[in-house]
Amino acid sequence: MWLYAAAVLVGLYLLRRWHRERQTVPRLSEKYVLITGCDSGFGNLLARQLDARGLRVLAACLTETGAARLRAAASPRLQTVLLDVTSSHSIAAATAWVRERVGDRGLWGLVNNAGTAIPTAPNEWLTKDDFVKVLDINLVGLIEVTLSLLPLVKRAQGRVVNVASVMGRISFFGGGYCISKFGVEAFSDSLRLEMHGFGVKVSVIEPGYFKTAITSIENLEKNFLSIWEKLPEETKASYGENYLKDFLVALRKMQKKCSSNLTLVTDCMEHALTSRFPRTRYSAGWDAKLVYIPLSYLPSALTDIVFAWSYPKPGRKA
């Protein structure tokens, strides 16, 4: 009897959740959304996706070439602005541009999508500047963009959507990427609590591995080779002549498992912006849901065993 009662309660809970998540906010065609990092990848696809749905998309691109391509692929409603999230001057100029367009209505949605993973390598191979390059874009830039536009989001009682990663829950490779995504998670949590009283909702997107410019095998291999060549001979000797080769082989194997279905991520972003009851966190991709998120709850001793199994071994002989 208790088993049936529990099943009924679970079923009712899932039905209620399904019903709530299908409810959308009204007058979407009147709402402005700013998306960073729209030259390619998730940002580019999301901009076109929201534009097709009728929202007023303000797409921030790093290059004029990327902006022109996006405008050509979208409706006249979509507008673009150049934005370098590592430049305070660029952020201030983009904020003024957004304020002119949204006016008293405010900014309904801010999607912090701009990011990079390069330089990345084992931590010992990197310099402080290598870490800073990634942190400036993925974390510090995200924070400055958010703080600059937050008054406009508060005016609309809108949404902030921050793109983190499953690597913001569990880290198994070096460099600033995982560190920055842990930081995005922490910033989002504190911001969500602070903005609750203002009617602003904050969501985090946690994608697994997807085929984007960030995960391009060509870019990553070029990155690793460049860093390896600059290492002191003593450091290279400690890892062994086959370490880099093994590392690249493991990288290519992981690349083959990357999903090319970017809509799994952009659908999460769209739901966070358009649902009356957005989730706090969205896990995108089966690897995120079934592998990395569950692993993040296990003791570190167990996750170390799992990841060490596929990690290159230093000093391996040919």
Q: Give the residue numbers marked as catalytic.
A: 177
Contact (CB, 8 A) for 205 and 188? no
| Residues contacting residue 221 through CB under 8 Å, at least 6 positions apart | 248, 251
- Among residues 165, 41, 282, the alpha carbon closest in space to that of 59 is found at 41
Burial class of 251 by CB neighbour count within 10 A (0 to 12, 13 to 18, 19+): middle
Nearest CA among 105, 111, 114 for reference residue 136: 114
Grouping H, G, I as helix, E, B as strand and the rest as coil, residue 198 is: helix
281-284 β-sheet, strand order:
79-82, 56-61, 32-35, 109-112, 159-163, 201-207, 281-284
